[in-house]
Amino acid sequence: MDRIVELRKLLEYYNYLYYVKNEPVVTDQKFDELMHELERLEAEHPEMFDPNSPTQRVGNDTTNEFVQVAHKYGMMSLANTYSEQEIRDFDERVRKGIGGDDVEYVCELKYDGTSISLRYEEGNLQVAVTRGDGVRGDDVTTNVRTIRTVPLHMQGEDYPAEFEIRGEILMPFAVFNRLNEERLEAGEALFANPRNAAAGTLKLQNSSVVAKRQLDCYLYYVPGEITLTPTHYGNLMKAREWGFNVPPYIELCHNIDEILDFIHKWDVERKNLPVPIDGIVIKVNSIRQQLQLGYTAKSPRWAVAYKFKAERVETRLLSVDYQVGRTGSITPVANLEPVHIAGTTVKRASLHNEDIIRELDLHQHDMVYVEKGGEIIPKIVGVDVEKRVADAPEIEFITRCPECGTALIRHEGEANHYCPNEDHCPPQIAGKLEHFVSRKAMDIEGMGGETIDLLLTKGFIRDIADIYTLPSRREELIGLEKILYPESYVMTSIPLGKVIYAFEIGMKNISAKNADVLAEHFGSLAKLAGASKEELMAVGSLQFPGDREKSVNKILEYFRMPFNEPLERLKQAGEVDMLPLDVVIYALDIPGIDFHKAGLLSVKFDYIYRLYTATLEEIAETDEMSREDAERVYRFLQGKEKLIRKMNTLSVYRLQERSVDNLIAGIEKSKQRNLPEFINALGIRYIGETASRNLARHFKEVRKLMDATFEQLTEVEDIGEQMAGSVIRYFEKTENREMMERFLQYGISGTMQEEEGESDRLAGTTFVITGTLSLPREHFKAMILKAGGKVSDSVSSKTTYLLAGENAGSKWQKAQKLNVTILTEEEFNTLMGS
Which residues are annotated as catalytic?
110
- Asked if 314 and 367 touch (Cβ cutoff 8 Å), the reply is yes
Angle between helices 2-19 and 28-44 (to 10 degrees): 150
419 is in an annotated binding site: yes
- For residue 283, say whether it is annotated as part of any ligand binding site: yes
578, β-bridge pairs: 495
For 660-681, the DSSP string reads: HHHHHHHHHHHTT--HHHHHHH
Is 404 annotated for ligand binding? yes
For residue 502, give the nearest of 642, 302, 614, 378 by alpha carbon. 642
- Sign for the CA dihedral angle at 536, 538, 541, 547 comes to positive
Give the residue from 448, 506, 442, 512 showing the smallest Cα distance to 679.
Answer: 442
> What are the E-state strand segments in 196-328?
216-221, 250-253, 277-284, 303-307, 312-324
Instruction: State yes or no: 57 annotated in a binding site.
Output: no
In angstroms, what is the C-alpha Rg of the chain? 30
- Taken in order 535, 537, 541, 544, is the CA torsion positive or negative? positive
H/E element holding 354? helix 354-360
Tell me, rounded to whole angstroms, the distance of Cα 511 from its chain centroid: 23
Annotated binding-site residue? 30: yes
Cα 381 to Cα 379: distance, rounded to the nearest angstrom = 6
Length of the chain counted residue by residue: 834
Beta-strand runs (E) in 752-831: 766-770, 790-792, 801-804, 821-823
Question: Per DSSP, what are the bridge partners of residue 666?
Answer: none
236 is in an annotated binding site: no
Query: Helices marked H in 512-654 — which ranges?
Result: 512-522, 525-529, 533-537, 548-560, 565-570, 581-587, 595-604, 608-612, 616-620, 627-639, 641-647
CB 464 within 8 A of CB 679: no
Amino acid letter, residue 87: I
32 annotated among ligand-binding-site residues:
yes
CA torsion 347-351-356-360 (nearest 10°) is: 10
107 known member of a binding site: no
Residue 298 assigned to a binding site: no
Kindly report the backbone phi and psi dihedral angles of residue 223, in degrees, each rounded to the nearest multiple of 5, phi listed first.
Answer: -50, 140
Tell me if 745 is assigned to a ligand binding site: no
How many other CB atoms sit within 10 Å of the CB of residue 575?
10
Q: 766-770 and 790-792: which strand pairing?
A: parallel
Cβ proximity of 146 and 133 under 8 Å: no
Residue 319 in contact with residue 398, Cβ under 8 Å?
Answer: no
End-to-end CA distance of the chain: 43
CB burial of residue 505 (10 Å; 0-12, 13-18, 19+): buried
How far apart CA 155 and CA 273 sit, in angstroms, is: 27
Residue 253 labelled as part of a binding site: no
* CB-based contacts of 566, cutoff 8 Å, min separation 6: 503, 587, 588, 589
Burial of 105 (0-12, 13-18, 19+ CB in 10 A): buried
Q: What would the 3-class secondary structure string for 80-136 be?
A: EECCHHHHHHHHHHHHHHCCCCCCCEEEEEEECCEEEEEEEECCEEEEEEECCCCCE
Binding site feature residues: 28-32, 77-78, 108, 131, 168, 283, 307, 401, 404, 419, 425
Binding site feature residues for Zn(2+): 401, 404, 419, 425
Binding site feature residues for NAD(+): 28-32, 77-78, 108, 131, 168, 283, 307
